[in-house]
Amino acid sequence: MIEDTFEARTVRLNAGDMVLYPSTTLHRVEPVTRGERLAVVGWVTSWVKDPAAREMLFDLDLSVNEVFERDGKSALFDRLAKTRSNLLRRWAEG
């Protein structure tokens, strides 16, 4: 069960699937009522520490992909991809 500011969401996964969520998210594990639960727990650290910068990069990445899917390689795609790369280099740590 993962809780955000709007609601609590039950997550049911197929074998081999995984869910990622920010470490600031409240969560809990419900009891197993059938079968068994096998879990691997880990942490991922972003090179971009600022959450607002990560969100901007994510939105820009979606836009770059959408432009490429719609138009293929174009001047607009190249500009957006270059901007995404430059912002990642500027904001990345490590």
Residue 75 is assigned to a structural domain of this protein: yes
pLDDT at 55 over 90: yes
pLDDT the model gives residue 35: 86
Q: Is residue 80 part of a domain?
A: yes
Tell me if 70 is assigned to some domain: yes
Residue 6 lies in a domain: no
- Residue 32 is assigned to a structural domain of this protein: no
Give the domain extent around 85: 51-91
* In a domain? residue 44: no
Q: What is the pLDDT of residues 3-50, one digit of tens each?
A: 888 888 888 888 889 888 888 889 988 898 988 888 888 888 899 999
Lowest average pLDDT, out of 12-16, 69-73, 74-78, goes to 12-16
Predicted pLDDT at 74:
97
Amino acid at 24: T
The confidence score (pLDDT) of residue 21 equals 84
Mean per-residue pLDDT, 52-73 = 96
* In-domain check, residue 20: no
Inter-CA distances, 17 with 24, 31, 40, 61, 91, Å: 21, 19, 11, 23, 30
When divided into structural domains, the chain yields a total of 1
Residue 9 in any domain: the answer is no
- pLDDT(94) > 80: no
